[in-house]
Amino acid sequence: MRIVLLGAPGSGKGTQAEKLVEHYRLTHISTGDLLRAEVAAGTTLGQEAKAIMDAGKLVSDEIVLGMIDAKLENDVGPEGFILDGFPRTLDQARGLDGLLEKLGEPLDAVIYLEVDEEEIVERLLARKREDDTEETIRKRIEVYRDQTEPLVRHYENEGLLKRVQGMGGIDDIFMRILEALQDARS
């Protein structure tokens, strides 16, 4: 099972990714975790990424795809993987498509957690993080929506997108995801 999990900040991606990892015994791939691991290990990629992040810039798609490529080639079990929070842009999606084509392992499904904007704002404000003001949260949602809409169309066109209602209880949402994935497998 090879899955991409899409959803706005606060949509529950992390929580659902953990449940999917446990249920299917998937390898969880988070670009944030990969970046931190590469930096901590002092690899060439990690050193490049650290220099870029220290300068306050975003790490390039090339570096992120390089890390994902290495992870996919070396650290994914036979059960497959779940990509959490990647791709974020259409260019990243195309890069990922190329990596997976090279490995002969196309995606099975892209789960898109749909959550009402007001619900997201409430969830993120409840987390009590210093940088999570209502204004910054709404800006993050707007940026996410601008970047993600082309991704949604891209994966819809490929027949991979599964829209899942991300509102309600954690277990209810998880059951909806499992139903969507059942459709993807048959």
Per annotation, catalytic residue among 19, 36, 140, 163: 140
Per annotation, catalytic residue among 13, 71, 162, 176: 13
CA–CA dist 33, 29 (Å, integer): 8
Residue 185 a catalytic site member: no
Residue 129 a catalytic site member: yes
- What's the token pair of residue 161? 């997108």
Q: Is 124 exposed, middle or buried (0-12, 13-18, 19+ CB in 10 A)?
A: buried
Per annotation, catalytic residue among 71, 88, 162, 176: 88
Per annotation, catalytic residue among 129, 139, 145, 153: 129
Among 116, 114, 77, 82, residue whose Cα is nearest residue 96: 82
Residue 127 a catalytic site member: yes
Count Cα atoms within 13 angstroms, Cβ side, for 113.
32
SS3 161: strand
Rounded alpha-carbon distances, angstroms, from residue 139 to 49, 59, 85, 121, 154: 25, 20, 17, 11, 23
Residue 163 a catalytic site member: no
Residue 36 a catalytic site member: no
Residues 6+ apart with CB under 8 A from 58: 52
Active site amino acids: 13, 88, 127, 129, 140
